[in-house]
Amino acid sequence: MNTAHYKTWDEFTEGIWRQNPVFVMVLGMCPVLAVSVSAVNALSMGLATLFVLVCSCGLVSLLRRMVPKEVRIAVYIVIIATFVTAVDYAIQAISLALYDALGAFIQLIVVNCIILGRAEAHASKNPPLPAMLNAAGMGIGFAIGLFALGAVREVLGAGTLFGITLFGAGFQPWVIMVLPPGGFFVLGAWLLFFSWLERRKLRRAAPPMEAGQHV
Amino acid sequence: MSEPSSTDKKVIPIAVAAPEAAPPESPTGAMIRTLGLVSAICGLIIVGAYQGTYDAVAANKRIATERAVFKVLPKAKSIAEFLAQPGGGILKVGAGETAIPAGSVKFFAAYDESGKLAGIAAEGVGKGYADNVRIMFGYQPDCQCVVGIGVVSMRETPGIGDKIITDKEFLANFTALDVKLKADLSALANEVKAVKRGSKTNAWQIDAIAGATITSRAVGKAINDSAQALLPRLVPKLDTLATKS
Ligand SMILES: Cc1cc2nc3c(=O)[nH]c(=O)nc-3n(C[C@H](O)[C@H](O)[C@H](O)COP(=O)(O)O)c2cc1C
């Protein structure tokens, strides 16, 4: 029982840290770079993707035994597109300003490779609960990645966080950070940071090299 | 010619039936049934989402329009939507109608709390630096002038083009921007136009923001084009809009 629990938990945390879609797998970069100009936009996009991921993986997993393999991709796309449409309406109902800010990137969640990838690689082979947990982990990891970019870009590029001014009037915003090049700068900086963490961990973990022990 | 018999018709059925062939194809019926079922489920979900959010979306759109109108006409308390038709007629738009017939110009009549006309608001579009700049402007019949602008949507560069909503000196252009018609009411008397900062000499010119001339010009063009299309039809009929109907 314990190992089963452990496995489920592990599948959940996989997407958040070990296989983080933004910082480790570097997937779905198009929305990541485009909508991460502010913390609110980034977080909303992350949550929208999370919702689509969890719902589509749940439904794909429920239907997994009856979907003939020849038509599985078509089925996944229809399911994903359905939940994207639902999210599209939901965001319009919540805030039109947000809807305008996210623009076409909501509809483009349909072709986000993270979602199709999860459906094919995980949800189609696992029962609904683990499938949804794994999808939730990936979605949360994606949202965290987006937020990490969005927050830094908003603070540097506009001097605000969630629209709240952080610095005095003397602060001159670093506008390039909210322009497209800023997306690449901040993403690069985060990737550097995580690879530095990774190396440090490896260095610490590796014993002073006795045999060919380390993997 | 490694398999000379492969073209022999009698051999083909045997080859297909051989146990080591690829996994069997799913029956066509199963595929169609699955696709049909999935489409039905998805259709239900979409219809549910659409109906569940319909009221909230419509309310949001109405509030967004009202806010944009109230911003350019601060005295307004309620609005009504109209179409100025090509023949010169004015048509009231009912709630929920969104399609605009070709050639018609949409505008809003704003009324104060006593039901008197507080001004007219209309949208205009001009090509900016990055994309179209959509603005809403308020028109005051008494002075025949534009009394305020607000941005409906734009993708101009933050810190450069988006100064059109923050730059006080630029916004001062729109306290009484002249959009008078010619005496025969056929067209604007003067073209509304953005000019280089500091060279504004007439009441129908807009002092551009230095460094954001392109966005400033887009605003000028948006007002000019929209006023040019709307005002010749609207001004002769203004008395029909004078009080809230
Ligand atoms: C990256 C970049 C972004 C720009 N964004 C805008 C903009 O949003 N709006 C604008 O009017 N000009 C923008 N410009 C400047 C225009 O190219 C042009 O130089 C300016 O509008 C001319 O104004 P001026 O005649 O007052 O110098 C941008 C320039 C660069 C290099």
Q: Phi-psi category of A2—alpha, beta or left, where left has phi over 0 and alpha has psi -120 to 50? A: alpha
Q: How close is the nearest chain A Cα to the Cα of B55, in Å? A: 8
Residue with tokens 């590796």: A206
- Distance, CA of B23 to chain centre: 54
Dihedrals φ, ψ of A184, to 5°? -70, -40
Predicted confidence at residue B21, as pLDDT, reads 58
Predicted confidence at residue B229, as pLDDT, reads 92
More confident residue, B159 or A108: A108
Q: Which two tokens stand for residue A95?
A: 């805030």
Predicted confidence at residue B8, as pLDDT, reads 46
A78 and B CB contact within 8 Å: yes
What is the pTM assigned to this prediction? 0.77
Alpha-helical (H) ranges within chain A are: 2-13, 29-35, 39-62, 72-94, 96-102, 113-121, 128-158, 180-205
Name residues whose C-beta falls within 8 Å of residue B241's C-beta, 6 or more positions apart in sequence.
B82, B90, B109, B117, B120
Distance between Cα B212 and ligand 1 center (Å): 5
Binning pLDDT at 50, 70 and 90, where does residue A54 land?
very high
For residue A11, give the nearest of A131, A170, A175, A160 by alpha carbon: A131
Distance between Cα B125 and ligand 1 center (Å): 18
Binning pLDDT at 50, 70 and 90, where does residue A208 land?
low
CB contact under 8 A, A90 and B49: yes
- pLDDT mean over A170-192: 91
Q: Which two tokens stand for residue B122?
A: 């209309």
Q: Which chain B residues are within 8 Å of A157, Cβ to Cβ?
A: 158
Name residues whose C-beta falls within 8 Å of residue B49's C-beta, 6 or more positions apart in sequence.
A85, A86, A89, A90
Whether B195 lines ligand 1, by a CB cut-off of 6 Å, is: no
The C-alpha angle A119, A121, A127, rounded to 5 degrees, equals 70
Query: Which of B127, B129, B199 to mutate to test ligand 1, by most ligand atoms within 8 A of the CB atom?
Result: B129
A104 and B CB contact within 8 Å: no
Of all atoms in ligand 1, which is nearest to the CA of residue A179?
1
Predicted confidence at residue B160, as pLDDT, reads 87
**pLDDT at residue A1 is higher than 50:** no
**Beta strands across the sheet bearing B78-84:** B90-92, B78-84, B105-111, B117-127, B132-140, B145-153, B177-178
- Tell me the β-bridge partners of B124: B135
Q: How close is the nearest chain A Cα to the Cα of B81, in Å? A: 20
CB contact under 8 A, A79 and B38: yes
Predicted confidence at residue B205, as pLDDT, reads 92
Picking from B35, B53, B64, the nearest residue to A93 by CB comes out as: B53
- Distance, CA of B100 to chain centre: 11
Q: Which two tokens stand for residue B25?
A: 């194809």
DSSP B47-73: HHHHHHHHHHHHHHHHHHHHHHHHHHS
DSSP-derived letter for residue B164 is G
Q: What spatial distance separates the first Cα and last Cα of chain A, rounded to whole Å? A: 29
Which residue has a Cα nearest atom 24 of ligand 1? Answer: B211
Predicted confidence at residue B13, as pLDDT, reads 47
Name residues whose C-beta falls within 8 Å of residue A148's C-beta, 6 or more positions apart in sequence.
A22, A23, A190
Q: How close is the nearest chain A Cα to the Cα of B44, in Å? A: 9
Average pLDDT of every residue of chain A: 89
For residue B27, give the chain A residue with the closest CA: A68
Whether B235 lines ligand 1, by a CB cut-off of 6 Å, is: no
Picking from A89, A173, A179, the nearest residue to B57 by CB comes out as: A89
Picking from A71, A82, A179, the nearest residue to B31 by CB comes out as: A71
- Tell me the β-bridge partners of B126: B133
For residue B53, give the nearest of A99, A64, A141, A21 by alpha carbon: A99
- Distance, CA of A47 to chain centre: 9
Q: What is the mean pLDDT of each run of 10 residues along chain B (245 residues)?
A: 45 48 77 93 96 92 88 90 85 72 88 90 94 93 92 86 90 92 88 89 92 94 94 89 80
DSSP-derived letter for residue B181 is B
Which residue has a Cα nearest atom 27 of ligand 1? Answer: B211
Q: How close is the nearest chain B Cα to the Cα of A180, in Å? A: 10
What's the half-sphere exposure (Cβ side, CA atoms, 13 Å) at A111? 7
Count Cβ–Cβ pairs < 8 Å, chain A vs chain B.
Answer: 73
* Cα–Cα distance measured from residue B1 to residue B187, given in angstroms and rounded to the nearest whole number: 83
**pLDDT at residue A172 is higher than 70:** yes
Predicted confidence at residue A116, as pLDDT, reads 93
Q: Which two tokens stand for residue B68?
A: 């944009």
Interface test with A, best of B33, B57, B62, B155 (most A CBs within 10 A): B57
Distances (CA, A) of B211 to A157, B17, B214: 19, 75, 8
